[in-house]
Amino acid sequence: MLMEEARNKIVEFGKRMSADGLAPGTAGNISIYDPETGYMAISPSGVPYDKTLPEDVVILDLDGNVIDGDKKPSSEHGLHAVFYRTDPEARAVVHNHSMYCTILACMGEPLRSVHYALAEAQCSEIPLVPYHTFGTPELADAAAEALKKKGHGLILQNHGMCAYGPTIESAYGLALTMEWCAQVQWHCMAAGKMNVLTDEQMEVAMEHYKTYGQKKSDGSHTGGYSVV
Ligand SMILES: [Zn+2]
C-alpha cells in the first residue's frame, strides 16, 4: 500500500486527536508529506476518526491530484500543501478546531507569548490568518502569507488552528501545546490581566528548548512541553 506507514500514523493520530478532545465530530484533519515522491497522505473528508481505516487515507500530490485512494480527501488539502511548499523541513500538519484555539480565533486574537511553552512553536506569537471560507484557495493563500513569519503554527480567524513539524509526533505535540497556551491566554484575558513575554525572553526560551528533554539517537532533543 502506497505510504502505508503514513496512512497508519494518520489513523492513529486522528483517533488520538478525537480522544484528546481536540477535534469535535469529524472536524480537523492530518497530513504527512513524503519529499521523495512529492506526495501527501491526508485524512478523508467527513469520516469519523474512530471509523477511519488506513485504506481510507487519500494520497495526493501538492496540486491536489489524487494519486491513490477511493475516498474524497479532506477539503483542506490545499491548506496543508501550503506548509510543505513553504518550509522544506515540514513533514506533517495537524489542523483542528480545538476549543481554546478556536475561541481566540473567534475573538480575532493571535496566540501570544503569555507562557514560555509557546517557544515550542519556534516563535513568540502565532499569527492570526484573516477569515476566508474553509477549503478555499483564498484561505490557503492567506495561510501562506502568514507563514512567511517565523513559527510552526497558525490561528485561523473564526475557524481553528494549524501546527506543523518535522514529524507527526512533533506537529501533534505542538497542537497540544498551542491548545494549552490558548487556554491560559483566554483565562488571562477573561481575568483582565495578561503579562506577555518579550521577543527577547522568548528567544532565550527557544534556545533552551534545543537542549531540553532527552537526547535522541539523531542528536536532537525531544524538546517541547508536551512530548508525545
Ligand atoms: Zn477546519
From 4, 76, 89, 145, active-site residue: 76
Q: Which residues surround ligand 1, an ion (CB under 5 A)?
A: 160
In the structure grid, which three cell numbers stand for residue 172, read together?
Answer: 501533534
Which helix (H) or strand (E) segment holds residue 179: the answer is: helix 168-191
In a domain, 228, yes or no: no
Query: What is the value of pTM for the model shown?
Result: 0.93
In a domain, 127, yes or no: yes
Ligand 1 centre from 160 Cα, in Å?
Answer: 6
pLDDT along the chain (228 residues), means of 10: 96 94 87 98 93 96 96 95 95 97 98 95 95 96 92 97 96 96 97 96 90 63 56
What per-residue confidence (pLDDT) applies to 37?
A: 97
Ligand 1 centre from 98 Cα, in Å?
Answer: 10
What per-residue confidence (pLDDT) applies to 213?
A: 67
Where helices occur in 20-129 by DSSP H, the ranges are 77-86, 99-107
Burial class (CB in 10 A: 0-12, 13-18, 19+), 214: exposed
Provide the number of structural domains found in the chain: 1
In a domain, 161, yes or no: yes
Q: Is 76 a catalytic residue?
A: yes
In a domain, 155, yes or no: yes
- Among 37, 33, 27, 32, smallest CA distance to 9 is for 32
CB atoms under 10 Å from CB of 163, counted, come to: 29
What per-residue confidence (pLDDT) applies to 221?
A: 55
In a domain, 227, yes or no: no
How far apart are the C-alpha atoms of 169 and 154, rounded to whole Å?
18
In a domain, 219, yes or no: no
CATH of the domain at 84: 3.40.225.10
Ligand 1 centre from 103 Cα, in Å?
Answer: 14
What domain range is 8 assigned to? Answer: 4-209
In a domain, 225, yes or no: no
Ligand 1 centre from 162 Cα, in Å?
Answer: 9
In a domain, 79, yes or no: yes
Ligand 1 centre from 210 Cα, in Å?
Answer: 31
